[in-house]
Chain A
Amino acid sequence: MQAAMPIEVRHLTHTYSEGSAFQATAIRDVSLTLEDGEFVAVVGHTGSGKSTLVQHLNGLLTPTEGQILVDGMDMFAPGADKRLIRRKVGLVFQYPEYQLFEETVAKDVAFGPKNLGLSADEIDRRVRQAMAHVHLDYDQYAQRSPFELSGGQMRRVAIAGVLAMEPRFLILDEPTAGLDPMGRDHILGMIQELHRQGGVTVVMVSHSMDDVARLATRLIVMSKGQVVAAGTPREIFRQADMMASIGLGVPEAARLCAALRGRGLMLPEDLYTLEELREHLLRLWKERGKA
């Protein structure tokens, strides 16, 4: 593991099309820190500025105001090397399968490493490894056209394309949007593996509170372009009223737990995964049996 070298966002503001009728401030005065080894989930309603925020993290958007430091370096300082930043911070867009363009899967995954100017051997190694990370068998898929794969497979190829850059920070903008439950579980499992075994710091934008509850170590809640809350899932999901007030829900387990408490069951306030809830209910059941 490398020493903790976080991404630090300071007072970030972004206004689209400043000075015209299309002007719109997407995020306003956002400050946050992403530590090495975290799994951060960014949640918020549509239009809350999540996507705008994450596009700043690897320098694709330039802030109207504010700074972002990566490893202590100001990313937008004149003369800063954006390509170096993009090597460290990999960004997977929404519906990334729409960016595939090569004739074969292997060539498409190799696009990133090739742009880094790596040797042919190193590129080959990275392509094989990235494909293994997304559970695509090299021998079976490498030479196929990405356009004849299923939606879920295409998405995995696209994610492999970013992983082949071997970034230390992996940012995913709604990686499971539009996938069936199986494809969703597959992608999420893959991301979890990368985080736990690959030591990659993950930032995931998501709509699904259940996914977030299961995976994230920290949550950042956005509303109307601002960070309204940040903390562990336990801390955030305890505030069901606050979440409801900005149009967000809490995980199903937390909702069920609240309903049961309403019926008089003695359950703690901060249960938010089904596993935890089941354990507590079983314990209650046993105690009642004794009494």
Chain B
Amino acid sequence: MMKNITMGQFYPVDSLVHRLDPRMKIILAAMLIVSVFLVRGLLGYGLVLAFVYLSARLSNVPFRMLLGGLKPLRFILILTFLLNLFFNNGQTVLLHWQFITLTAEGLSTAVHYSLRLTFLVLGTSLLTLTTSPVALADGIELLFGPLKRIHFPAHELAMMMTIALRFIPTLMEETDKIMKAQMARGADFESGNLIARAKAMIPLLVPLFVSAFRRAGDLAMAMEARCYHGGESRTRLRVLRMTRNDYLALGATALLTALIVLEGLMV
């Protein structure tokens, strides 16, 4: 019941994309997102879709799974679409019925915004599906490394992120277990109105919080027992190195961005 959350979940298979340098993948994901915002016409979105689809194929992640990441966002997507569709002060009226006015500008903005949101999620899902949390945090730490000079806590931030990501599956498992245990005692999480359902969450949330705090305490103790004291003078087990494939991927993404800019100029 909690298993269909794709966002932020690592899909552990081996592939070309999985082996890319996490630093490069973060940069590429950022480039992809920026490109999406530069798109002017439908052709551009087609290009982005082709790019995302191709990347998914290269990464051995089922495209269906990638699309699954959109599921939790479906209400936001629909809401974005509808709000932009009907509350836009465009001039070209397509349809007028009582108080509802549909304009061409509204339609265009609605399509743009929902497609942008969709590709935003797809792009970032692709990153997190193909990059293990540890590699991701490594990448972020190294990318933000130069900011340490202005006392930006890059290491601490990366460590916090690693820990948070590391505990998502654990907490999900825990949630699943507590839910089952309470269901064995006749708890009902699925029926009733909003208030009844919110109340039904108490037997789930209280044990979950208790265990999260307990785990945090244990973890802090274990880290201190091993003399952890932040990022100062720590060396790494795996030294990241860019390879030819990383530059090829960079080239491909840059090409996409260029094509999109070009398409925007022509429209």
Are A and B a genuine interacting pair, yes or no?
yes
With A21-B12, A165-B186 as known contacts, state yes or no: A93 contacts B181, CB within 8 Å: yes
A115 to B187, CA, bound (A): 6
With A20-B62, A99-B178, A101-B206 as known contacts, state yes or no: A58 contacts B187, CB within 8 Å: no
CB <8 Å contact, B185 and A162:
yes
Q: Is A105 an interface residue (CB 8 A)?
A: no
A50 to B186, CA, bound (A): 23
CB <8 Å contact, A101 and B203:
yes
Interface residues in B163-195 (C-beta closer than 8 Å to A): 174, 177-178, 180-188
Residue of B nearest to A114 (CB): B186
CB <8 Å contact, B210 and A147:
yes
CB <8 Å contact, B185 and A20:
no
CB <8 Å contact, B180 and A55:
yes
CB <8 Å contact, B181 and A96:
yes
Interface residues in B1-26 (C-beta closer than 8 Å to A): 3, 11-13
Scoring A residues 74 to 106 as 1 if CB is less than 8 Å from chain B, else 0, what string do you get?
000000000100110011010010111100000
A95 to B187, CA, bound (A): 19
Number of interface residues of B (CB under 8 A): 24
Q: Is A63 an interface residue (CB 8 A)?
A: no
Interface residues in A49-63 (C-beta closer than 8 Å to B): 55, 58, 60
Q: In the complex, how many angstroms separate the beta carbon of B230 from the nearest chain A beta carbon? A: 32
A116 to B188, CA, bound (A): 11
Interface residues in B210-245 (C-beta closer than 8 Å to A): 210-211
CB <8 Å contact, B207 and A165:
no
Q: Is A44 an interface residue (CB 8 A)?
A: no
- Chain B residues near A98: list those with CB within 8 A: 174, 177-178, 207, 210-211
CB <8 Å contact, B184 and A93:
yes
Q: In the complex, which of the residues B181, B186, B207 contacts A115, with contact meaning CB atoms closer than 8 Å?
A: B186
A86 to B210, CA, bound (A): 26
Q: In the complex, which of the residues B65, B184, B186, B211 contacts A60, with contact meaning CB atoms closer than 8 Å?
A: B184
Q: A83-B188, A90-B184 are in contact. List 11 more A-B contacts (CB 8 A).
A: A17-B3, A20-B65, A21-B11, A91-B181, A93-B181, A99-B181, A101-B206, A101-B210, A111-B185, A115-B185, A162-B185
**Can you report 25 A-B residue pairs in the complex whose CB atoms are below 8 A from each other?**
A20-B65, A21-B12, A55-B180, A60-B184, A83-B186, A83-B188, A86-B185, A86-B186, A90-B184, A91-B181, A91-B184, A98-B177, A98-B178, A98-B207, A98-B211, A99-B181, A99-B182, A100-B207, A101-B210, A112-B186, A115-B185, A116-B186, A161-B185, A162-B185, A165-B185
